[in-house]
Amino acid sequence: MGFSGLSLLASAALLGAPVEDGAKPLCNPFAGKSPPTRDMPSDGDRARLSNCDTTVLYFGIERPPDSKDARLCAMIELESGDPTGLPLHDAGMLVSIYANGKGVARNAAVAKHYACVMTQDYGSVDTLFERINRAVGGGAAFDGCAEAAVGLAGDECALVGYLVELSHAHEAQRKLLQWAAPKAQFTAFKSAASAYERARMPVEVDRLEHLTNQTSRRAVFVEQFNDVLRALKEGGTALPSADLEQRDKELNAVYQRVLRGATQRAEENSLTPEMLQPGQLRAVERAWLAYADACEQFRAASESPLSASALRRMMVIQRIEALRAMFFQVGVDEEMEPIKY
C-alpha cells in the first residue's frame, strides 16, 4: 500500500496560534543550536533519499525502522521547503529524534532548536521544552503526538498510528502464513478472504470518507484474519460453543437492522447515487458466507485443533462487529459496545 495520505497532510500550511510575547525570547538561545556537521545529510544521502518518507523510516511502516535515515530524511524535507508544523514531519520529527536519542546522542539544545523551527515562534513552546527536558533526562520518552488532539496534527498522528498498526498486522500475518500457506485448501480460503475484503471496501470502509478511518478499518480486517489463522493453528483454550445459536440470531438481527437502515436511506436519497444501496450490502453478506465456508473447509483439511463450532462462533462475532460499525452510516443510533470472544 502507499502512504500518499502522509504527504497530503504534510503539504498543508502551518496553522498556528497568534504570536505570544514569551515564545520568541524562549527560542532565542537555541537559534544557533543546529546539529553537528556529522549528523547532516551528504550529497549522496540527498540523492539516495530524494523521495523518502520520514514517518515510514522512523516507525518502520511495512519495513524495518531506520532511525538514521529517518533523521536524514527529515533534514532533507526541511531543506526543501518551509516546516510543515506537523509533529511527524521535518522539524517536528527531529524534535523526537534528538529528545529520545534515536540513532544520535540525546541533545536537549538541538531538540529545542527544532521545536522552535517547527512552531516558527507561534504559540508557546513551554510545554514542548518541559517534555524535551524530561526525555533527555531519562524520563518519559518524547511523544510528538502528545498534544496533537485535533486539526492537521491530530489527523497525521491518528493516521500514522493506524498505519503502524496495519504494518504490525502484516508482519504478524507473514509469520502465520508460514504455517498456513503450504496446507491444502489454503489458496481457496485466502481467495475467499480477499473477495470478502474487496466486497467490503466500497461498502463498509471507503464510505467512511476519512483516510484515517479507512486505514483503521483495513487494520482491523487484517487483524481479524490473523486471529482466525492463529486460532486455526493453535486451537488455544476451548472456546465456548453453547451460545453459537444465540450468536447466529444476533448476527441475523444486526444484519437486518443495518439492511433496513440502508434501504430507508437509499429510498429517501434516491437522487444520491453514492448512497449505500441494499444490494451492495447483500453482496457483502454473500461474500462473507463464502469466506466462512472456505474457512471451515480449510479447518477440516488442515486438521486444525480448533472445533468447527468454535471457528464459526469466532467468525460470526467478527461479522457482527463489522456490521455494528456501520450503524452510524445507515442512521441506526445505537452505542457500539465491543463484543468479546
Task: Look up residue 315 and give its amino acid.
Answer: M
If asked whether residues 204 and 104 sit together in one domain, one would say: no
Q: Is residue 237 part of a domain?
A: yes
The crossing angle, in degrees rounded to 10, of helices 67-79 and 90-100 is 140
Q: Is residue 147 part of a domain?
A: no
Separation between Cα atoms, residue 124 and residue 274, nearest integer Å: 44
Q: Report the number of distinct structural domains present in the chain.
A: 2
Separation between Cα atoms, residue 194 and residue 132, nearest integer Å: 45
If asked whether residues 211 and 324 sit together in one domain, one would say: yes
If asked whether residues 35 and 92 sit together in one domain, one would say: yes
More confident residue, 278 or 295: 295
Q: Is residue 174 part of a domain?
A: no
Separation between Cα atoms, residue 213 and residue 159, nearest integer Å: 8
> Look-up: residue for cell 527560542?
27
- Give pLDDT, residue 139: 83
What are the two backbone dihedrals, phi and then psi, of residue 19, each rounded to the nearest 5 degrees?
Answer: -65, 135
Of the candidate ranges 129-133, 174-178, 205-209, 297-301, the one whose mean pLDDT is the lowest? 205-209
- Give pLDDT, residue 324: 87
If asked whether residues 14 and 132 sit together in one domain, one would say: yes
Which range has highest mean pLDDT (91-100, 209-218, 238-247, 302-311)?
91-100
- Residue 144, SS3 per DSSP: coil
Q: Please count the other Cβ atoms lying within 10 Å of the Cβ belonging to residue 213.
A: 17
pTM score above 0.85: no
If asked whether residues 188 and 111 sit together in one domain, one would say: no
Is residue 178 within 8 A of residue 25, CB to CB? The reply is no
Considering only CA atoms, give the Rg of the chain: 24
What percentage of the chain carries pLDDT values higher than 90?
A: 56
Last residue of a domain, one of 107, 136, 165: 136
- Give pLDDT, residue 131: 95
If asked whether residues 225 and 326 sit together in one domain, one would say: yes
Is residue 71 within 8 A of residue 104, CB to CB? The reply is yes
**For residue 291, how many C-alpha atoms fall within 13 Å in the half-sphere facing its CB?**
26
Nine-digit cell string for 17 = 496560534
Q: Is residue 41 part of a domain?
A: yes
Is residue 48 within 8 A of residue 124, CB to CB? The reply is no
If asked whether residues 123 and 205 sit together in one domain, one would say: no
Q: How confident is the model at residue 96 (pLDDT cuts 50, 70, 90)?
A: very high
Q: By CB neighbour count within 10 A (0-12 exposed, 13-18 middle, 19+ buried), where does 60 fall?
A: middle
**The domain containing residue 81 runs over which residues?**
4-136
If asked whether residues 14 and 101 sit together in one domain, one would say: yes
- Residue 40, SS3 per DSSP: coil
- Give pLDDT, residue 223: 95
If asked whether residues 112 and 188 sit together in one domain, one would say: no
If asked whether residues 21 and 128 sit together in one domain, one would say: yes
Last residue of a domain, one of 102, 136, 170: 136
Q: In sequence order, what DSSP letters do the residues of 76-130 get, joined into one string? A: HHHHTS-----TTSHHHHHHHHHHHTSSS---HHHHHHHHHHHHTT-B--HHHHH
Which of 154, 75, 58 is closest to 110 using CA atoms?
75
Nine-digit cell string for 258 = 443495518
Q: Is residue 292 part of a domain?
A: yes
Print burial letters for 147-166: b (CB count within 10 Å at least 16), e (below 16).
ebeeebbebbbbbbbbbbbb
The crossing angle, in degrees rounded to 10, of helices 108-119 and 90-100 is 160
Average pLDDT over residues 202-219: 75
If asked whether residues 101 and 210 sit together in one domain, one would say: no
Q: Is residue 52 part of a domain?
A: yes
Q: Is residue 43 part of a domain?
A: yes
- Give pLDDT, residue 115: 94
Q: Is residue 122 part of a domain?
A: yes
Separation between Cα atoms, residue 72 and residue 166, nearest integer Å: 25
Print burial letters for 170-185: b (CB count within 10 Å at least 16), e (below 16).
eebbeebeeebeebeb
If asked whether residues 111 and 198 sit together in one domain, one would say: no
More confident residue, 161 or 149: 161
Q: How confident is the model at residue 8 (pLDDT cuts 50, 70, 90)?
A: very low
Average pLDDT over residues 186-215: 83
